[in-house]
Amino acid sequence: MTRARMCALAIGAFAATALIGGCTSAENTPEPSSAAQGGSITVFAAASLKSAFTEIGGQFETDNPGSTVEFSFAGSSDLVTQLTQGADADVFASADTRNMDKAVVAGLVEGGPVNFATNTLTIAVAPGNPKEIRTFADLAKPGTSVVVCAPPVPCGGATEKVEKATGVTLSPVSEEPSVTDVLGKVTSGQADAGLVYVTDAAGAGDKVTAVAFPEASQAVNTYPIAVLKDSEKAELAHRFVDLVTGEAGQKALAKAGFAKP
């Protein structure tokens, strides 16, 4: 065999080895995780969570560079209806266990929901309380326009419980699809009073005066949160739930007026 022939064979063998080594290296390179890749998750959350979850969402994006959180805030009953009709979301946070149970029964939830907060009703009135509403019974006085949440909505269910506990039946001028809509009726002057959560009244600042009433303790709402089974970003979704239930999330919720479950 000539010297030139031997060199050609050696070069060919070296090239083949390098090519195989390169392929092997590429095949063995691990794919980056979904968390490393980042991405966007959609959180369906009760309207009363808007302030606290917006803050938590900002923290989540800081903790997970390249990731974003999109929120859809509405009444819990409306949200679970959207989910059962096929709406895409990664996390569901309800203002009561009743609507979360609907999602569980429909097979939408991965694993079990986790309770992360509680909330209580209060009476929201115009600043300074010009109608001098002092008790729950005062809401039934003639000439007092009251707004409440519709019965399927958690704050509406809580209102019904208080009515039963007190024996006082209200005659609301409207029943709203979310607690934020009730608050809006009061702040805009369309109603004298509205039954909202303590967190919503606190968030409204000096736009309303909050009137606490002892019977509210008969209707404390517990808030559960869960990752949804069809989530395409399950790892990120679990990270969001962990943040909500962890120290940072609980601090943000407490600042907004929520109590621990």
Query: Could you tell me the two tokens for 239?
Result: 């990270």
Whether residue 51 is annotated as binding a ligand: the answer is no
Whether residue 179 is annotated as binding a ligand: the answer is yes
State how far the Cα of 134 lies from the Cα of 120, in Å rounded to an integer: 17
CA distances from 133 to 142, 164, 192, 193 (A): 12, 20, 9, 8
Q: Which amino acid is at 184?
A: G
Whether residue 125 is annotated as binding a ligand: the answer is no
Q: Is-contact 115 224, C-beta < 8 A?
A: yes
Query: Could you tell me the two tokens for 183?
Result: 């608050």
Residue 211: strand pairing partners: 123
Whether residue 48 is annotated as binding a ligand: the answer is yes
Q: Which amino acid is at 7?
A: C
Give me the phi and psi of 207, to 5 degrees please. -75, -20
CA distances from 6 to 3, 19, 20 (A): 5, 20, 21
| Sheet of 67-74, strands arranged across | 67-74, 39-46, 91-93, 221-227, 114-119
State how far the Cα of 33 lies from the Cα of 28, in Å rounded to an integer: 15
State how far the Cα of 90 lies from the Cα of 119, in Å rounded to an integer: 24
Containing H/E element for 69?
strand 67-74
Strands 114-119, 221-227: pairing is antiparallel
Binding site, by residue number, is 48, 76, 179, 197
Binding site for molybdate, by residue number, is 48, 76, 179, 197
